[in-house]
Amino acid sequence: MNLRRTLAIARKELIHIVRDTRSLIAAILQPLIVLLLFGYALSLDVDRVPTVVYDADRSPQSRDLIREFEGSRFFQIIDNAGTYPIIERAMDERRALVGVVIPTDFSQNLALGKETKVQVLLDGSDSNTASIALGYAQGLIQAYAAKTRDNAQAIRTGATMRPPVEPRVRVWYNTDLVSRHFIVPGLIGVITMIIAALLTSLCIAREWENGTMEQLLSTPLRPSELAAGKLAAYFLLGAVNMLTALFVSIYIFDVPLKGSMPLLLFSSAVFLFGGMAWGIFISAGSRSQLTAYQMGTFTSFLPAFLLSGFIYSISNMPVVIQAVALFVPARYFINIAKGIFLKGIGLRLLWFDLLLLIVYGAGVFYFATRRLRQKVA
């Protein structure tokens, strides 16, 4: 590979990028807009669940339970119903997700020490949110029951009953359980994969459409030099996008960076190189920009979003899909990004994921140059 010819191609491609002002602005702003939209709009936190309460008992004890729901950040009481149809109507109109029904004998059973039941109704059309809200409601009611039992025990005996087992919970890595801290590092990987593949998937196909590939073929330029030169030019643009995403993640979304910044930058550069090499591979086999764009979108966005562990846990997927996910490079970069951002772990634990990304980048670049050689031969 001749360095002079490679740099000449890189310079040519950089001039083309700078002259196409609209595409340059779109390439810089698009990942930033996607990051901001997903970072602010996409949230896995379930709180302030709209709730309707039907208090059939209307006693001080039932009002105490209602106050527990009102004081919880997980529930927002939007209405006090007098009948079941009101709860049903609120759920049909999507105004409420949870209905709490306190029966008429609630306070009486509490006074007699009998088993007391509280009905919790859930809109199961959103199964994930409903299951989480059910857990919150059960925990809140159980805590209220334990407090009521302790108060009754203290009145009767003058002593407070202590539970035989007291859990001491400590959350590691994401202490406040903020879903944004989980989503944003993975989002960097998804955006990098998409932008990298789309930027380079058009560069060689564009040469065929514009009729300039014949001019390049008349020069002593080798396929490896053509691929490396184009990749080098777009790598600079991709690096700007990547650094912008890291800046937004740390200083706007306040995602804590507990690990090594140099390791994160190096891993990002390796992943970016692999994504752009994949774009070159796609472009080398396409003479139409439309075909290259469609293939780049299909092979970068869907796997990176669905099969990388960005949001959906890979361990919960069918075995066949888990096997397919082994070949998604974004999966390994997201493991690295989350490990560095949230856990502060280093190369001692992340070396295998990083090695897979290096092998992926080198392998895809080799096959891209080989495919390009066959195409121009």
Given a cut of 70, is residue 153 above it in pLDDT? no
Query: Comparing 293 with 166, which gets the higher pLDDT?
Result: 293
The CA radius of gyration of the chain, in Å to the nearest whole number, is: 29
Give per-residue pLDDT as tens, 354-364.
999 999 999 99
Instruction: Grade residue 38 by pLDDT with cuts at 50, 70 and 90.
Output: confident
Instruction: Give the pLDDT confidence of 77-106 residue by residue, as tens digits.
Output: 998 888 888 888 988 888 889 999 988 888
Q: Determine the pLDDT at residue 363.
A: 92
Q: Residue 336: inside a domain, yes or no? A: yes
Same domain for 241 and 265: yes
Residue after which a domain boundary falls, among 127, 157, 187: 157
**Which pLDDT belongs to residue 161?**
61
Query: Can you give the CATH number for the domain in which 84 is found?
Result: 3.40.1710.10
Looking at the structure of the chain, the number of domains it has is 2
- In this structure, is residue 329 part of a structural domain? yes
Lowest-pLDDT choice from 139-148, 268-277, 351-360: 139-148
**What's the chain's average pLDDT?**
83
The top-scoring range by mean pLDDT among 19-28, 153-162, 241-250 is 241-250
263 pLDDT tier (thresholds 50, 70, 90): very high
User: Are 364 and 261 contained in the same domain?
Assistant: yes
Q: How far apart are CA 44 and CA 137, in angstroms?
A: 18
Residues 311, 263 share a domain: yes
> Do residues 26 and 70 share a domain?
no
H-only helix segments in the chain = 3-19, 21-41, 60-71, 84-92, 106-112, 127-157, 179-201, 203-210, 213-217, 223-251, 261-284, 289-306, 319-325, 329-338, 347-376
Instruction: Retrieve residue 369's tokens.
Output: 């140059």
Predicted local distance difference test score (pLDDT) of residue 266 = 94
Residue range 32-54: mean pLDDT, rounded: 82
Q: Return the percentage of the chain with pLDDT > 90, whole number.
A: 13
According to the per-residue pLDDT averaged within each range, which of 20-24, 198-202, 277-281 is highest?
Answer: 277-281
Q: Is residue 343 domain-shared with residue 313, that is, in the same domain? A: yes
**pTM for this model (two decimals):** 0.79
| The pLDDT of residue 202 is above 60 | yes
User: Residue 7's domain spans which residues?
Assistant: 3-43+178-376
User: Which conformational region is residue 48 in: left (phi greater than 0), alpha (psi within -120 to 50 degrees), or beta?
Assistant: left
Closest to 341 (Cα-Cα) out of 186, 187, 185, 189? 185
Is the residue at 173 inside a domain? Answer: no
Q: What is the average per-residue pLDDT within 135-155?
A: 80
Does residue 339 share a domain with residue 224?
yes
Question: Is 219 in the same domain as 134?
Answer: no
In a domain, 274, yes or no: yes
Q: What confidence tens digit (pLDDT) does each residue in 64-77 have?
A: 888 988 888 889 89
Q: How confident is the model at residue 354, as a pLDDT? A: 94
Last residue of a domain, one of 96, 128, 157: 157
| Co-location of 124 and 246 in the same domain | no
372 vs 306, which has greater pLDDT?
Answer: 306
pLDDT confidence bin for 269, thresholds 50/70/90: very high
Kindly state whether residue 24 falls inside one of the protein's structural domains. yes
6 vs 246 pLDDT, higher one = 246
pLDDT digits 0-9 by tens, 313-339 = 888 888 898 898 888 898 999 999 999
Where does a domain end: 93, 122, 157? 157
Tokens linked to 37: 């939209």
Name the residue with tokens 């912008």.
Answer: 244
- Residue 147: the pLDDT is 81
Label residue 217 by pLDDT band (50, 70, 90).
low
- What pLDDT score was predicted for residue 154? 65
Quick one: pLDDT band at residue 377, thresholds 50, 70, 90? low
Q: Which carries the bigger pLDDT value, residue 138 or residue 284?
A: 138
CA–CA separation, 264 vs 282, rounded Å?
27
Residue 26 included in any domain: yes
Residue whose token pair is 């944003």: 184
Task: Give the C-alpha distances (Å, rounded to integers) separating 267 from 87, 109, 189, 260.
Answer: 52, 62, 11, 11
Q: Is residue 163 part of a domain?
A: no
